[in-house]
Structure 1
């Protein structure tokens, strides 16, 4: 009897631990081809994420080689390359982690059509979220539109068992694994390094701080958040494994993981989340102001806490979550610029840039999304004084203000004229007819 062969198409599930598609294939088939297709259409979107991706793929290749297999690399259209390789090795089927973005669902649909045409099976697996997007539904609806009732349902949901990494992976004979190019240069010099072993080490080192999470996660200068979001975005870590190690399903950190699941189920139901207002009837009278958008993007708005966040983004490819709320609120509520512009800038720079989370959070801040209080605003000065009380976060990323002590760093426009003139720092941006009270 000839060996049975399957392909596992890896997309943003770049790990061997708790990988349902890979574990199932290794259990059911004699030969398994772990495959990643470098898609030129995605490689152009973010140099930071492209570098992180290549680093993660290199680690995944090492992990698979340690188990007797390899990571097969191809370049081109993911559907065409997957089917071509499947036919070449005589694969019976293809396994794939289910995803929710419009791009992912189009890829899945095309792949299913090709599998049907060539009489191969296509099976989708969980793994990108803790609770699958379609598993929880409210009475009379296809998805939850508000987080709180979703969280209550999510806390009681039955989840799958966490899976061990396969002990052995066997490739078919004669398969050319292909060359993985060296990681390209990203745009952020201080960006985190990708890879499953890096992610698992980061989780282990951070876990002792978990009990203090509710006290530390908004301390902008303390920088004691887990910084696991890029690893979750690329699947270097299983979100289920992270939740299991965190333990308490009621805890504030696990609640953040639930927010991630929440936006995935929203995106599954509303795939236009990155381009169209989710909330019906949302007011969208945005201004167009290229100068203001460029100043915000480059961290030179004259609002120190905003500029610090945007400069952290450009330096690290990551931004503290509180800074994300402040910078997004400033763009949409003060500058009155379209949230879609913010989505694009964040998606360009963020290592964890993800359609569901990035777009969902932007719409929440802009009042067009899932916020039950869509008219709430963020006063950046009050936010800065509360979450960066001694100005250490601002001084770290805005060195022009390093000489200003204490809370004064958050409102340099209130300094004496001579002190202001000595600063190489711009005055706050003005919006016609909408000068906020904190600038008066």
Structure 2
């Protein structure tokens, strides 16, 4: 049986990885694409940590991680010739970049086999009853997703046979990243965190929006790089009879929802899904800069933006508040916010980051695109004592209780754009960023 190349992309694990299961010799390959290296120093650091950890796991199983640098298709073809094989496996993905990579691999004379693994259900596994490529509304998707059969997890290999004589290549030195308090990458760390948090799952429904308690799983970055199998998490949640497990399962479905949206609309990062709602953005560089720096004078917004810089991560409720503030209060283009999040977020991927920015801006999958969120009332509801704000805005550490949420020192560029809404509209207030 000829060897096959397992082209790893966003599935950097040995547990439930269909690319690493089965008989015959396998050549695990990861190609560092220089075109992606400058997008986010935080993600680049995390990626290198993931690769180092995966290499250790593969070596423990008698194989190695082959590292190449350059164009992924060209490097895969070159290695296939070296190994004398035409068989290449890759996990199916949905971004414009991934779809172009798959098309090029198919036309490069390779026997390309696409496997699942990036989502619980592959995009297209469930489709609207009336036709169409993807669901545009979450609730009917969730109902179909929940009742559809899932694949069996791939067995974790004890040993992996790999051809002799392949130079594994050197993993470049891990870059520094930008956020001093960022999570460490890798499957080993991911599984440690999962074990530590799993006892909190039963309380997830009640506590995931408590900004001060910070009782979310913080597993989103590990899902983004495939250090954890989303299927494995979904099966564990499904087997746990509690409202918290059901709420967490729903968030995994939200993640899949945006992947099937992106598969049908791969330019989700740059083009609005509702063009009619994308025509009124203000241009205000000073206001944008104050938002980016966490200096708007609105405490809950500033706390979220400072957490983003410090940790490369932000609480899910803070993501909703800060994004809505930029688009619905300051009236600034959602794409500028998306790019800023993309720079800092370790878990920033195209489907969820872009889909949720469009949802918040009213240009995407929201049945009520003109809804607005009052950041003061959001803060009073989800950080009633102001603990989250004081944690990230030390200038306010001596302000008592909920008084910390009142706007202070509003700079002129922010004051120019502000237009606070009236009372919150009555609706099911669902934070659609993956509650991680």
**Deviations for 1:92-133, whole angstroms, at most 9, x for unmatched residues?**
30000000000001111111111x2xxx31100000000110
The answer to whether the 8 Å contact 1:283/1:368 transfers is yes
User: Does the C-alpha gap of structure 1 residues 236 and 433 become closer, same or farther in structure 2, counting only changes over 3 Å?
Assistant: closer
Task: Decide which of 15, 32, 35 is 1:41's aligned counterpart.
Answer: 35
- In structure 2, the gaps of 5 or more residues are 423-436
Map 1:317-356 → 2, pairs under 5 A: 317-356=312-351
RMSD: 1.5
Measured in 2, the distance between the counterparts of 1:50 and 1:233 equals 13
The answer to whether the 8 Å contact 1:56/1:195 transfers is yes
User: Does the C-alpha gap of structure 1 residues 293 and 280 become closer, same or farther in structure 2, counting only changes over 3 Å?
Assistant: closer
Alignment length (residue pairs): 417
- In structure 1, the gaps of 5 or more residues are 414-424
Is 1:277 the counterpart of 2:272 in the alignment? yes
Task: Decide which of 230, 235, 245 is 2:226's aligned counterpart.
Answer: 235
TM-score (norm 1): 0.92
Q: In structure 1, the residue corresponding to 2:277 is in which secondary structure? A: coil
Measured in 1, the distance between the counterparts of 2:238 and 2:10 equals 24
The answer to whether the 8 Å contact 1:7/1:95 transfers is yes
> Larger Cα Rg: Structure 1 or Structure 2?
1
Map 1:240-259 → 2, pairs under 5 A: 240-247=231-238, 251-259=246-254
How far did residue 435 of structure 1 move? 3.7
How far did residue 282 of structure 1 move? 2.1
Task: Decide which of 14, 17, 34 is 1:16's aligned counterpart.
Answer: 14
Task: Decide which of 186, 192, 203 is 1:195's aligned counterpart.
Answer: 186
Please name the residue that 1:156 is paired with.
147
Is 1:107 the counterpart of 2:121 in the alignment? no
The answer to whether the 8 Å contact 1:248/1:254 transfers is no
TM-score (norm 2): 0.93
Map 1:311-390 → 2, pairs under 5 A: 311-390=306-385
**Deviations for 1:316-373, whole angstroms, at most 9, x for unmatched residues?**
0000000000000000010000000011000000000100000000000001100111
User: Does the C-alpha gap of structure 1 residues 400 and 185 become closer, same or farther in structure 2, counting only changes over 3 Å?
Assistant: same
**Deviations for 1:349-401, whole angstroms, at most 9, x for unmatched residues?**
00001000000000000011001111111100000011000001000000111
The answer to whether the 8 Å contact 1:36/1:71 transfers is yes
Runs of 4 or more consecutive aligned structure 1 residues displaced over 6 Å after TM superposition:
none
Please name the residue that 1:121 is paired with.
111
Is 1:93 the counterpart of 2:81 in the alignment? no
How far did residue 430 of structure 1 move? 3.7
Greater shift, 103-112 or 280-289, is seen at 280-289
Is 1:131 the counterpart of 2:121 in the alignment? yes
Please name the residue that 1:208 is paired with.
199
Q: In structure 2, the residue corresponding to 1:251 is in which secondary structure? A: helix
Please name the residue that 1:54 is paired with.
48
How far did residue 436 of structure 1 move? 2.5
